[in-house]
Homo-oligomer: A and B are copies of this chain.
Amino acid sequence: MEALELVSSNKIFGGFQKVYSHESSELKCKMNFSVYLPPQAEGGDVKLPVIFYLSGLTCNEQNFITKSGFQRYAAEHGIIVVGPDTSPRGVKIPGDDESWDFGVAAGFYLDATNEPWAKNYRMGSYVNKELYDLILQAFGNVVDGERIGIMGHSMGGHGALVSTLRNPGLYKSVSAFAPICNPTACPWGVKAFSGYLGEDKCKWVEWDATELVKKYDGPPLTLLIDQGAGDSFYIQKQLLPENLVEACRSVGVPVILNLREGYDHSYYYISSYIGEHFAFHAKILKA
């Protein structure tokens, strides 16, 4: 097992918010990730569900753990929560820090095939293989590998949806706040996919939730999509939840779209509804 280094540990709502670092073999750099261990994990004699949370553009592992208030709900439901960073760090590829929506802190949770990104920008395999397996091993005494869910925000909402749809059964529950639902059809996605995947659009559809759901052939899933109606990125058509909902309905995949009047794209919005998302996941993972 890879060596984990404890970066920080803070008691919150009776459990512990921890941050670890490790050398990632997929990304070929040192990465931080967060783990919240709820009070039910103490003693290590019960196996608990896990939720992975994928953050959005410009974030690292800190935003979610300091701003969302999720720990209250994780403690109530007895759920372990894991939060990776949003891109490789410190690999210094030319151009990786020129944009806030590409390169550093903008890995889009995919495996790049285009140079110079293909060697390090493998956030898809990092989250769904390396980190997933690492959590099962390192926290095996308290993690129930059969009850793992995923959620995310914006670029991380895209990541949560794509991770679930590409890996049937890996995640039993999925939800997203203001996800990029149809990246092949929005400016953020076109920029990222052009850079990471190149110009062959056949590759793009393999990382687009709206396209993937049309071909989904795994265990039954209900997608929970949350969207602030006052979110400027929604209004600018970067997010396109209606496209995903239409695709789901065309193939009979259950989807819930909650539009929230007056809410924006920020953690103020996420914190207002993350309790509902934890209840949604808990109902599935603890059924």
Residues of A within 8 A of B (CB): 10-14, 17, 66-67, 69, 71-72, 228, 230, 262-264, 266-269, 271-272
Instruction: Determine how close the nearest CB of chain B comes to the CB of A72; give it in whole angstroms.
Output: 7
Query: CB within 8 A of A10: which of B12, B14, B266?
Result: B266
Query: CB within 8 A of A230: which of B11, B12, B266?
Result: B11
Query: CB within 8 A of A17: which of B14, B72, B262, B268?
Result: B268
**A11 and B267 form a contact (CB under 8 A):** no
**B14 and A272 form a contact (CB under 8 A):** yes
Instruction: Determine how close the nearest CB of chain B comes to the CB of A265; give it in whole angstroms.
Output: 10
Chain B residues with CB under 8 A of A72: 69, 271
Chain B residues with CB under 8 A of A11: 228, 230, 262-264, 268-269, 272
Chain A contact residues: over half helix, strand or loop, or mixed?
mixed
Instruction: Determine how close the nearest CB of chain B comes to the CB of A189; give it in whole angstroms.
Output: 26
Minimal Cβ-Cβ distance residue in B for A65: B268
Chain B residues with CB under 8 A of A267: 66
Chain B residues with CB under 8 A of A13: 271-272
A266 to B268, CA, bound (A): 20
Minimal Cβ-Cβ distance residue in B for A17: B268
Chain B residues with CB under 8 A of A67: 66-67
Chain B residues with CB under 8 A of A266: 10
Chain B residues with CB under 8 A of A272: 11-14, 71
A14 to B262, CA, bound (A): 9
**B66 and A269 form a contact (CB under 8 A):** no
Instruction: Determine how close the nearest CB of chain B comes to the CB of A122; give it in whole angstroms.
Output: 32
Chain B residues with CB under 8 A of A264: 10-11
**A66 and B66 form a contact (CB under 8 A):** yes
A137 to B69, CA, bound (A): 33
Known: A11-B269, A14-B272, A67-B67. 17 other contacts (CB 8 A): A10-B266, A10-B268, A11-B228, A11-B230, A11-B263, A11-B268, A12-B269, A12-B271, A12-B272, A13-B272, A66-B66, A66-B67, A69-B72, A71-B268, A71-B271, A71-B272, A72-B271
Chain B residues with CB under 8 A of A268: 10-12, 17, 71
